[in-house]
Amino acid sequence: MSKKNNDYGIEKSLKNLGISKENKGVSSGGKYFAGGDLLESYSPTDGKLIAKIKTADADDYSKVIETAKAAFKEFRMIPSPKRGEMVRQFGLKLREYKDDLGKLVSYEMGKSLQEGLGEVQEMIDICDYAVGLSRQLHGYTMHSERPGHRMYEQYHPLGIVGIISAFNFPVAVWAWNTALSWICGNVTVWKPSEKTPLCAIACQNIINEVLKENNLPEGISTMIVGDHRIGELLVNDKNVALISFTGSTRVGRIVGKNVAERFGKSILELGGNNAIIITENADLDMSIIGAVFGAVGTAGQRCTSTRRLIIHDSVYDEVKNRLVKAYGQLKIGNPLDENNHVGPLIDQDAVKQYLDSIKKCKKEGGKFAVEGGLLEGANYESGCYVKPCIAEVENSYEIVQHETFAPILYLIKYSTLDEAIALQNDVPQGLSSAIMTQNLREAELFLSQSGSDCGIANVNIGTSGAEIGGAFGGEKETGGGRESGSDVWKYYMRRQTNTINYTTSLPLAQGIKFDL
């Protein structure tokens, strides 16, 4: 590196966030403890050990659940606007710690500093959204068929919400879930990714300040760092009413099945294989910007990363040539250096999957317009830096049907828009999609019932960068879950229908007579 990590203020940020060289990975009841194995967090930025974390065992898990259960009994009785006030104060704390937390996200996960700061801003935004929503958890009133009766619906808290988050968004996805859970009256138990545990400890430190200052039960927010065994305990625990899981489709199948077997609720945010259709009527300047950021942002490790470009044959060569030129201008290196566009992959396993995917693509017949490979040298000592690459392929290739969490962009040619939409939909995943066009008819067809089959469909923006105001999630092997905005709050509550009889008689529905 041209600069040491200390030059970017990492040590100061860790101190400000309450991160020491050795940490306990369980926060419950305001105390940190853990009786499990030792976990070491290394930065993919420079390969250095950031800190050690003592992880949880089964006994620790039991303590966390008991603390959460006790907190729920009190928290559910606090009026929702008052719960919103707690979330408002949490948002203010995040503003205070934004620079430090954004820097930690960048250093521990590897995304660019701008993306790290943006992730913390997402946390702030969802807090603002949840505060307003805390006064709008409305039900509906219906007309009864029986005279002198009133019917309405209301929503009640579920109880304990379990959140299992992934490394690529180590703080924002937790905030999406927990901010809504809190204003709905739930308490949360968070199992963060083992690849980014320090980000979770920092967040827990921040919310602990709010809980303490407001004399609120500290079990409202608990965190438990552990391996798959802790995840299995959470998923199979009947005390946990809802599991929100972000991760691979393979693990999501297991989570969904196990939660369903105990009649729990689940929100599944799984794999994506997102495409941008570039039509002959597209603004190519916009298209190139959207495609490049979508493909290389977070080093291709977003669930909404652009994996495929489906390009009209009349502009295919021009788009390819402009992409090649743009890729030649990318700066790859330390993500804390704001001059760099692309940081590292999360770890060596991710690098191996990236290299294996390139081999498979070539074996199936893919032709690389921009070659990939591992970057080596003094500036890439962690061994996690790779070259973003571009391959010309057929959509039917097995590797193209698979989600590779890395900066590999596939180019596919089409002739008609119906063909392009069919190619877009012809993958197992269904998260995000986009079309670049200045033709209204093309845009509306893409958004119609015969268009994109994804949970997110955009026009003239890329596949990546969802706002918190809309419901986030996808279809098919993406899991069908929704998080963040719109009416997603209903996922975190149980619906109840109430009928009130204010007469002196008891008429039955459907005109049934039952006289004694």
Set 127, 199, 203, 303: catalytic member:
303
Q: State how far the alpha carbon of 194 is from the alpha carbons of 108, 191, 225, 244, 317, in Å.
A: 11, 9, 7, 17, 43
Give the contacts of 80 (CB within 8 A, at least 6 positions apart): 134, 135, 137, 183, 184, 185
Strands laid side by side in the 141-143 sheet: 141-143, 149-157, 493-501
Neighbours of 260 (CB within 10 A): 11
Report the candidate in 508, 498, 506, 454 with the shortest Cα–Cα distance to residue 141.
Answer: 498
Distance CA 244, CA 181 (A): 11
Distance CA 425, CA 452 (A): 6
Q: Is 138 helix (H, G, I), strand (E, B) or coil?
A: coil
Report the candidate in 159, 153, 127, 158 with the shortest Cα–Cα distance to residue 138.
Answer: 153
CB 175 within 8 A of CB 127: yes
- Alpha carbon 94 to its chain's center: 18
Set 115, 269, 442, 483: catalytic member:
269
Backbone angles phi, psi at 112, to 5 degrees: -60, 155
Distance CA 457, CA 434 (A): 5
Distance CA 176, CA 151 (A): 32
Q: What is the DSSP letter of 406?
A: S
Backbone angles phi, psi at 72, to 5 degrees: -60, -40
* 483 classed as catalytic: no
Distance CA 203, CA 216 (A): 17
Identify any residues that bridge with 368 across adjacent strands, giving them in sequence order.
391
Q: Is 246 helix (H, G, I), strand (E, B) or coil?
A: strand
Identify any residues that bridge with 458 across adjacent strands, giving them in sequence order.
434
Angle, CA of 296, 116 and 301, to the nearest 5°? 35
Specify the long-range contacts of residues 131-134, CB closer than 8 Å, at least 24 apart. 131/84, 131/85, 131/87, 131/88, 131/91, 131/183, 132/84, 133/84, 133/180, 133/183, 133/489, 134/80, 134/81, 134/83, 134/84, 134/87, 134/183
Give the contacts of 191 (CB within 8 A, at least 6 positions apart): 162, 163, 164, 165, 223, 224, 225, 226, 230, 231, 234
* 269 classed as catalytic: yes
Just list the catalytic residues: 269, 303
